[in-house]
Structure 1
């Protein structure tokens, strides 16, 4: 993974402009330990993102937001409980959002630093990003870029310290996103 500092003249291997988020080919998943012996995996079904590619890394940015009420662990009863006031409290914390502060890397390997906000709490987070490349879509002639971003955070850092001992503190996040090149 390339994590070296990049100069402000380094550019992303993408056409500058506002890239359009492709929700049909994107997902936001997570993993959390249960009872310390297994993992529960889930996803958020409502994800939005914006990618602005500037002339350099310093003028490029990405934001992403998930609706916490869209949690899907494959168990409707568990999902309803997680949404409730004693756990996530989606009435109080409707979204989890990310805003980049730094992009670094080259080739296929990138690092994305930024601020993660859940409710009223914001903390720094770093994602390791695998750039999948850019491809022409034969059906409509559009060009798509794909990314896989992996990071983790401690839920207790966001005041989500319910069920200690039952649920692990570390939440592993994986975003797989596609964007469509500006015309």
Structure 2
């Protein structure tokens, strides 16, 4: 997507028609999407994990101001490759999934061009909501022979601070910063050919 930033700097006025994304609600392809994270342990090594149960949506309008992205992640679906650690992480010591079953994201604005984008939004964990910005790389859009529909790929990265959401257990051996990495593939609306 290209546009003249000097001619009209308002993101709301930028058309998304140059992107190969049809207006409408794009649905998540869960088989080709993933939600990963990393957190440092003792400041010297990274613990990597993922969430297995999540949903996401992408609504494309005629302008960037009409583009909306959302996601909901079931916190109990955490998988760090160590069952004992996962049980402890789900407990009241840390995530407390009984009290905080989901983590949700709702976009508030989009900006950028070509393959590089910035997605601003609000992340909610439990009863706490904080602003979050994700750097998004648009991987392109192609028709998939398997279903005859266009698929679009995105990679989003960002950081959140556990303390912002009252998740400060383990201070001293777990870092406050959690890095998130999302690979998302969306499928064009059924009634759209491009």
State whether TM-score is above 0.5: yes
Render the CA deviation track for 1:61-115: whole Å, top value 9, x for unaligned.
Answer: 0000110000000000000000001111000000111000010111100000000
Structure with max Cα Rg: 2
Provide the rounded CA distance (Å) in 2 between the counterparts of 1:139 and 1:23: 15
Match of 1:170 in 2: 177
Task: Report SS of the residue matched to 2:100.
Answer: coil
The TM-score normalised by the length of structure 1 is 0.96
Please point out which of 25, 28, 32 is paired with 1:21.
28
* C-alpha distance in structure 1 between counterparts of 2:10 and 2:184, whole Å: 23
Moved more, 29-38 or 4-13: 4-13
Distance in 1 of aligned mates of 2:63 and 2:115: 17
Give the match for residue 11 of structure 1.
15
Alpha carbon RMSD of aligned pairs, Å?
1.1
Residue of structure 2 in register with 1:63 after alignment: 70
Task: Decide which of 106, 109, 113 is 1:102's aligned counterpart.
Answer: 109
User: What is the distance in 2 between the residues matched to 1:48 and 1:26?
Assistant: 10
Which secondary structure does the structure 1 equivalent of 2:167 belong to?
Answer: coil
Corresponding residue number in structure 1 for 2:91: 84
Matched position secondary structure for 1:8: helix
Structure 1's consecutive aligned runs of 4 or more residues displaced over 3 angstroms after TM superposition are: none
Q: 1:6–1:105: 8 Å Cα contact kept in structure 2?
A: no
In structure 1, C-alpha distance between the alignment counterparts of 2:55 and 2:146, rounded to whole Å = 24
Residue 124 of structure 1: aligned partner? 131
